[in-house]
Amino acid sequence: MNHAAPLAAGLALVALPLVLPDFWMFIGVEVLAFALYAVSFNLLLGYGGMLSFGHAAFFGAGGYAAALVAAQRSLPLPLMLVLVPAAAMLTAGAAAVLIGLFSVRRAGIYFAMLTFAFQMLLYTIALKATSLTGGDDGLTGLKLPGAIGRPVGYYYFALALTAAGLYVLHRLVHSPFGATLRALRANALRVQYLGVDVRAHRLAAFVASGAFSGLAGALFALSSGNVFPGWLNWTASATPVVMAVLGGTATFFGPALGAAVYVVLEVVISGHTEYWPLTMGVVITILVLLAPGGLTGLWKTGFGRARASRAVPLSTGEAR
| Contacts of another protein in 189-208 (CB under 8 A) | 189-198, 201, 204
Q: Which residues pair with 227 in a beta bridge?
A: 139
Q: Is 261 in the site for another protein (CB under 8 A)?
A: no
Q: Is 71 in the site for another protein (CB under 8 A)?
A: no
Among the listed residues 24, 75, 98, 102, the single contact to another protein using CB under 8 A: 102
CA dist 142 to 28, 52, 127, 175, 212, Å? 18, 29, 19, 37, 20
Report d(CA 97, CA 120) in Å as an integer: 17
Q: Which of 235, 243, 248 is nearest to 265 (CA)?
A: 243
Q: Which is nearer to another protein, 140 or 285 (CB)?
A: 285
CB 233 within 8 A of CB 136: no
Q: Is 298 in the site for another protein (CB under 8 A)?
A: no
Encoded one letter per residue, x for contact with another protein by CB under 8 A and - for no contact, window 136-175 reads: -----------------------------------xx-xx
CB 45 within 8 A of CB 312: no
Among the listed residues 128, 137, 164, 304, the single contact to another protein using CB under 8 A: 128
Q: Which is nearer to another protein, 24 or 192 (CB)?
A: 192
Within 8 A by CB and 6+ apart from 145, the residues are 73, 77, 80
Within 8 A by CB and 6+ apart from 281, the residues are none
DSSP 139: B
The interface region with another protein, picked from 28-36, 154-162, 220-228, 305-313 by CB under 8 A, is 305-313
Report d(CA 262, CA 239) in Å as an integer: 9
CB of 96 to another protein, least distance (A): 15
Report d(CA 34, CA 254) in Å as an integer: 12
Among the listed residues 14, 288, 301, 304, the single contact to another protein using CB under 8 A: 288
The interface region with another protein, picked from 16-24, 145-153, 234-242, 255-263 by CB under 8 A, is 234-242
Among the listed residues 121, 163, 265, 298, the single contact to another protein using CB under 8 A: 121
CB of 79 to another protein, least distance (A): 27
Query: Which amino acid is residue 118, in one-letter code?
Result: F
The interface region with another protein, picked from 86-94, 137-145, 156-164, 279-287 by CB under 8 A, is 279-287
Among the listed residues 20, 151, 187, 269, the single contact to another protein using CB under 8 A: 187
Q: Is 301 in the site for another protein (CB under 8 A)?
A: no
Report d(CA 151, CA 23) in Å as an integer: 8
Q: Which is nearer to another protein, 106 or 143 (CB)?
A: 106
CB of 128 to another protein, least distance (A): 4
Report d(CA 41, CA 255) in Å as an integer: 9
